[in-house]
Amino acid sequence: MDSKANAAAFLRAKDFFEKTYRDRGMVKWQGFYLSDHVEDVAKYTEKAAEVETRTAKPRMDEAEIDQVLTHAYANHEVVKVQRIRRDELGHLTPIVQGKVTGYRDNYIYVGTEMIACDDINWCERVIR
């Protein structure tokens, strides 16, 4: 192409973008945004439903809790522990599951969690 043809093509393109072309803005990205957004909303909804459906297990007395946790610790077994405390919105915290890895003062270690003994509502050994 010679310089006159290049100049004419440039002027046509300039004229098109100034007078005819309408940028759709965010509309052209809507497909990407929508799929990611739907996926995030689905994850959030699933988690919120799980939190809302948590129910308190029957309260165990200290002797029962001590018996379950001592047996699990001695035999390297996995336990599930439900705490008494609730989160800032009043929902039960998730059940902690893991091996009883130790204890110290008034705390017991389940997996990587340190749980106060007086914060335990319920516990059970996990039979595999």
Q: CA-CA distance, 96 to 99, in Å (whole number)? A: 10
pLDDT in tens, 53-103: 899 999 999 999 999 999 999 999 999 999 999 999 899 999 999 999 999
pLDDT in tens, 15-33: 887 888 777 666 666 666 6
pLDDT in tens, 106-124: 999 999 999 999 999 999 9
Total-model pTM: 0.67
Q: CA-CA distance, 86 to 114, in Å (whole number)? A: 16
Q: CA-CA distance, 67 to 70, in Å (whole number)? A: 5
